[in-house]
Structure 1
């Protein structure tokens, strides 16, 4: 099987050339494009998630031999969560080569965080099947790069941190309210207001509700820190 020029360019960005190109094609095929003769990337995503987890666990242990399990766990979660995978996918411009059905493509699927994160995990699995664990580990460490050394034990997502802040003070969980939506259907912008029972609020706008909620939570945490 010969890869298209776009996929060969992706190989260059990944720093890896497949001996079995069909694995890369499958890793980039969303379920909206699957058929009896074309497999999608869901099973590869399942495998890639586990490979990524093992590589990150090894990398964190090697980077900080003195870290406790309590310190390592949140760092690990920050490195393997879907948002991190999607960020790496954006860095290698994975979205431009995703194979999507028409409806998914028209709804902005190439920019959707979940689709990008899933595809990145599937690509990791494809390299694992093509070159074994050593090849997959080299790929992950190359793409995740400085993230391993930069992540801290408090690197949990902002929504979790804000909820824990509220619970520690006997408050109910914060609320997230969509206050505005703008832009075309294929590239919407969501504005979310994060609110605490005590009345503190913060707003943020992003291309997905999840990103907007996280940004609003981070803005509110920053405001609380300054007030403190």
Structure 2
């Protein structure tokens, strides 16, 4: 990786002991050799832990609903892709010719995956602290950009519906997947004449909050975040 790796290492704030970890984190499945898919899985969890801990420390008076809204805005794929763009990770990705021609370096899904994989590489090479430093540096502007949460999303959506004479929003549990120790819930929300939207969360309440937030954004009541 040569000069490219040195420049990227400097931006990430970590000099790798095993450069192969960073190389794998930047390798798309369309290319030969080990790719970033397993790293993406780990990086997503490391990001979630760091963000959750950060929010607990910085928003000591926030309730679970507000924390869930902030958390989901910061860990979603679009947020990771935005960070990847700021880090210029797209230019470093190794990918097959077909994916390259298809514009893979600019795809939100790929950029988000690579960002999570790089977080995993940092964690595997140096432990939680290099990953934490990178996340808190690169996500700081997203946290500021998210703005002040006025109230929890479910309450805001209910007030929106009542103000317009609509029935109260309806939340339906669509699916529960994953093991008992780490379940994932999918919830669908219906409000007014808007198209139903689905969202996922680690608890039914979190999924409902995320679904309500998505509906508010769709309705233009809240600005879209991160």
User: Which TM-score band (shorter chain)?
Assistant: 0.5 to 0.7
Aligned residues: 174
Per-residue deviation, residues 41-96 of structure 1 (Å, max 9, x unmatched)? 00000000000000000100111111100110010000000000000000010000
Question: Is the counterpart of residue 5 in structure 1 residue 26 in structure 2?
Answer: no
Shift in Å, 1:139: 1.4
Q: Which residue of 2 aligns with 1:153?
A: 149
Q: Distance in 2 between the 1:90 and 1:118 partners?
A: 12
The residue correspondences of 1:1-228 to structure 2 (distance < 5 A) are: 3-34=1-32, 38-151=33-146, 152-153=148-149, 168=169, 171-174=192-195, 221=220
Q: Distance in 1 between the 2:65 and 2:191 partners?
A: 24
For the structure 1 residues 170 and 88, does the alpha-carbon distance in structure 2 shift closer, same or farther, using more than 3 Å as the test?
closer
Q: Secondary structure at the match of 1:29?
A: coil
Q: Distance in 1 between the 2:21 and 2:60 partners?
A: 36
Shift in Å, 1:14: 1.9
Q: Distance in 1 between the 2:73 and 2:152 partners?
A: 6
Consecutive unaligned residues in structure 2, runs of 5 or more: 170-189, 197-215
TM-score (normalizing by structure 1): 0.67
Preserved contact between residue 40 and residue 117 of structure 2 (Cα < 8 Å): yes
Preserved contact between residue 11 and residue 17 of structure 1 (Cα < 8 Å): yes
Structural RMSD (CA):
3.0
